[in-house]
Structure 1
């Protein structure tokens, strides 16, 4: 293991230089970032720290008169890990200190109170005991774990912490505990029509609830509209006629597996490639966890980003047979340092994250050999990173049939095709390295490509 202390001074010097250069670029195109357009972030790149400081204040107030043993079990396990692993503890302290430096660059007029391992742990403990409210003027309240880590993620220390196996395992347990809470009826306190409820008039408009909620649900349950938990609301089912299946009887038409915004279309993808560089290439060995790689070498990838108000279930893009399904554990808050400070907590690193993050793999074998196998790869980004696959090996699925869903958190999706299967993509590929990350919107069930089907 590296000596973390010896790297601290060099890391801090590099951070100061990198921060000043990146800030100029960041401010120029901030308003067009995916996080702003998707509602993760305020319209100005400010005030995350003041919101976060409020969280820390509440967490420390709730802690008064209690001992460390009153932490949630998963958070207590993280505390014990850091207590007994000196080098990892030193690295986390470095990450927090560097995060304060990043904060001072971007929000110099606000107080930032995540200044120790203790305040970080109590903020995490506070977050996972609550469901995020609907507060459109403070977007990080809807994605609080991203808000907690956003400054730390773009640091030399954070670059290493969020790749550390031991830290990552404990963090995954913390997020699992939060997911369990958000699956429970207790989390319904924010699924109401109140001022901070996700069913109020503004949320109804902002989140296009008319496409999801039937009048019958509202009549039968005027308080929660039939939802059973926060996550039940988050991966709510859509009204069928709002997402028709294009080319339902035409095997040459490939449809989108999800609602979202196109991030990238890549052709002639390599078996292995450098993904931790500015270009964020796709490396099939990494993406597919070594599964069926030979079938996809030289093929195509289309990746899209799901915002908080998108439909979070995913459908089969072709008809065929489920050959294999699995969830690959991976990173959650790791982002590509070379992208510069990303106030959207990782959405600018989606190509990199496709190779390393927690992700699902659903392999579908088409009945048409000219299409061959297609891989549907839902990717968790930050927050809970929960991928639920709802089909089994051997199942016959039709184009447009539901395959699974994301629980609460950030999400991305890759569709991977064999070489020669796609004749033409019918969606626009965003310009690489442009200031705008706002690719074309795609709807689940909508046409995205035409194949060489005979």
Structure 2
């Protein structure tokens, strides 16, 4: 007799392994599911109270798209319905939900015309897009929607318009020392701002501490003495490109692999977007993730000549599809980071060391959720020294991969978390700190 398989509801899919979602482990999303529901209810209410007659251009473009594209409109409606099921379960008393496309457009428009306030007890208040989509992403139709090229492009335009606002001086209203400001005493403590802000900055500009916009604050420069570079002048020492937490060290990486598999393999063809793939077959990937209050600029792990520097467009809110019994895995976090490295918007900087024993090293900053904005400040032909700044993340979630050629690494000096698909408790690493020893004589 045929065995019947239980079909999971959207709520069950969402709650399964929720604690391993990227937003949760990195601090972008609250661990308390009811708090997410309450926050989302509040922002939908605010969006309704502040409804405008005409949406911002990018939101209006999405509205027109959904009016004309019936198939996409139906997919959005199905995704909203599944997300609504989850929302009502975890916060049944919340009076406001994303119940239809109008609610979604209203809330998107509200979010992109404002900079996030600092709310010390609501972690995802700083990342409202993550909060808005959190229930929808971990659903079967959400899997289809956030991989839909047409929807992804429309969403990308919305996020770019928001990023432009966060780059402007208008966003400075939340970068102040007042309550709810990112320079308030509570934020100074929570975000370790004493490592970023000098007394001279405070004296020069007592209100904004010389920051020019919200994004200027988000990718703030650190005081150099707080991030010294290890092994200066010693080519044996390879350093971390970023602040973060180690996710995985994967060896003998294949040219091509099944990026949808549950064990999250890396596929060099996808990861490198077909650039210098043959040089890295059989090599090693070192991946880490950044939390919301980590330093969001990244640096060269070795010295050498830059031979590639570009941004690769990709997904932003897509989560892992599992090949298990139910065909879906709702863990948008450490369970999805390997997958996201292969498909998300990401930078690609390849540095070639003069010693062939080290050879080429690929630095791959990955945008996850929100703006997914990767800014590269160097170009092919530039020579960089170990520890030199390569670029930064503007507003948004982020992860980082370093890819090494075969036999380039003699030994890693940080622990590889195990099991590798559930590693949200890896060791913290600081940018510029040694993470490996090169295999040179």
Instruction: Name the TM-score, length of structure 2 as normaliser.
Output: 0.94
Query: Following TM superposition, by how much is the alpha carbon of 1:346 offset from its aligned partner in structure 2, in angstroms?
Result: 4.3
The aligned residue for residue 198 of structure 2 is: 214
Answering whether residue 144 of structure 2 is matched by residue 160 of structure 1, we say yes
Answering whether residue 32 of structure 2 is matched by residue 44 of structure 1, we say yes
Query: Following TM superposition, by how much is the alpha carbon of 1:350 offset from its aligned partner in structure 2, in angstroms?
Result: 0.8
Distance in 1, Cα, partners of 2:211 & 2:379:
26
Unaligned runs of 5+ in 1: 1-12
Contact 1:15 1:156 in 2 (8 A): no
Q: Note the 1:219-230 alignment, pairs <5 A.
A: 219-230=203-214
Distance in 1, Cα, partners of 2:102 & 2:334:
28
Query: Following TM superposition, by how much is the alpha carbon of 1:57 offset from its aligned partner in structure 2, in angstroms?
Result: 1.4
Answering whether residue 402 of structure 2 is matched by residue 415 of structure 1, we say yes
Contact 1:34 1:438 in 2 (8 A): no
- Distance change in 2, residues 1:90/1:330 (3 Å): same
Distance in 1, Cα, partners of 2:66 & 2:163:
23
- Distance change in 2, residues 1:227/1:337 (3 Å): same
Alignment RMSD (CA, Å): 1.8
Contact 1:49 1:112 in 2 (8 A): no
Higher helix share: 1
The aligned residue for residue 23 of structure 1 is: 15
Distance in 2, Cα, partners of 1:56 & 1:449:
47
Query: Following TM superposition, by how much is the alpha carbon of 1:34 offset from its aligned partner in structure 2, in angstroms?
Result: 5.8
The alignment covers a number of residue pairs equal to: 431
Distance in 2, Cα, partners of 1:195 & 1:381:
29
Contact 1:102 1:151 in 2 (8 A): yes
Contact 2:44 2:96 in 1 (8 A): no
The aligned residue for residue 75 of structure 2 is: 91
Give secondary structure in 1 for the equivalent of 2:50.
Answer: helix
Query: Following TM superposition, by how much is the alpha carbon of 1:146 offset from its aligned partner in structure 2, in angstroms?
Result: 0.5
Query: Following TM superposition, by how much is the alpha carbon of 1:347 offset from its aligned partner in structure 2, in angstroms?
Result: 5.2
Which one of the candidate residues 315, 321, 326 is aligned to 1:331?
A: 315
Contact 1:33 1:436 in 2 (8 A): no
Contact 2:80 2:100 in 1 (8 A): yes
- Distance change in 2, residues 1:280/1:409 (3 Å): same
Instruction: Name the TM-score, length of structure 1 as normaliser.
Output: 0.91
51-60 or 167-176, which moves further after superposition? 51-60
Answering whether residue 431 of structure 2 is matched by residue 439 of structure 1, we say no
Give secondary structure in 1 for the equivalent of 2:349.
Answer: strand
Which one of the candidate residues 387, 391, 400 is aligned to 1:400?
A: 387
Deviation per residue, 1:151-202 (Å, 9 max, x gap) = 0001111101111111100100000000000000010001011111011111
The aligned residue for residue 47 of structure 2 is: 59
Unaligned runs of 5+ in 2: 1-5, 323-327
- Distance change in 2, residues 1:25/1:376 (3 Å): closer
Could you list the runs of 4 or more consecutive aligned residues of structure 1 that deviate by over 3 angstroms after TM superposition?
Answer: 18-26, 32-38, 104-112, 337-342, 345-348, 433-436
The aligned residue for residue 278 of structure 2 is: 294
Query: Following TM superposition, by how much is the alpha carbon of 1:113 offset from its aligned partner in structure 2, in angstroms?
Result: 1.1
